[in-house]
């Protein structure tokens, strides 16, 4: 292999890497723009969704639980993936007329996020428990 071929391969790898990185940034930008989030928050939500999907896939592929057994926990996990988005939406809607941030909107407080999370789990697993009785 001569030096020109090595340079061509290195250039191809560099261009492919740049294309993949640009594609990821473009997808994050499109996702963030669609949900009216900033790029950092959109990347956090996408990262949470990706980690959630990998964990869910691993549990289902390994056969640790049946899909019906994990559904309430999966819905609660999906809810938790969007917590950064709730905080970002709260920050963009909670400014007063003079630009000073007001108090946190009720739906973005930690106790509402946690309460909905626990409510999803209780409703899901409570409903399953009632069906089995």
Q: Give tens-digit pLDDT for 4-26.
A: 666 778 888 999 999 999 999 99
Q: Give tens-digit pLDDT for 79-111.
A: 999 999 998 888 776 555 445 456 678 888 889
> What DSSP letter does each residue of 73-104 carry, written as one string?
HHHHHHHHHTHHHHHHHHHHH-B-TTS-B-SP
Q: Give tens-digit pLDDT for 64-79.
A: 888 888 999 999 999 9
Q: Answer yes or no: do 23 and 44 share one domain.
A: no
* Segment (H or E) for 13: helix 3-34
Q: Answer yes or no: do 27 and 45 share one domain.
A: no
Q: Answer yes or no: do 12 and 73 share one domain.
A: no
Q: Answer yes or no: do 44 and 89 share one domain.
A: yes
**pTM to 2 decimal places:** 0.79
Instruction: Give the number of other CB atoms < 10 A from CB of residue 77.
Output: 20
Number of folded domains that form the chain: 2
Q: Phi and psi of 84, rounded to 5°?
A: -60, -35
Q: Answer yes or no: do 14 and 69 share one domain.
A: no
> Structural domain of residue 112, as residue ranges?
39-132
Q: Answer yes or no: do 3 and 47 share one domain.
A: no
Q: Answer yes or no: do 66 and 112 share one domain.
A: yes
Q: Answer yes or no: do 81 and 128 share one domain.
A: yes
Q: What pLDDT, on the 0 to 100 scale, is given for residue 98?
A: 45
Q: Answer yes or no: do 43 and 17 share one domain.
A: no
Q: Answer yes or no: do 19 and 49 share one domain.
A: no
Cα–Cα distance between 77 and 108 in angstroms, integer?
17
């Amino acid at each position: 292999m001569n030096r020109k071929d090595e340079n061509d391969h290195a250039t191809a790898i560099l261009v492919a890497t740049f294309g993949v990185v640009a594609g990821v940034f473009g997808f994050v930008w499109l996702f963030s723009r669609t949900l009216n989030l900033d790029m950092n928050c959109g990347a956090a939500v996408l990262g949470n969704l990706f980690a959630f999907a990998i964990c869910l896939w691993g549990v289902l592929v390994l056969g640790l639980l049946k899909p019906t057994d994990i559904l309430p926990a999966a819905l609660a996990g999906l809810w938790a993936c969007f917590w950064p988005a709730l905080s970002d939406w709260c920050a963009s809607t909670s400014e007063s007329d003079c630009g000073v941030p007001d108090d946190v909107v009720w739906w973005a407080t930690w106790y509402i996020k946690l309460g909905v999370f626990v409510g999803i789990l209780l409703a899901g697993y409570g409903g399953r428990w009632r069906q089995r009785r």
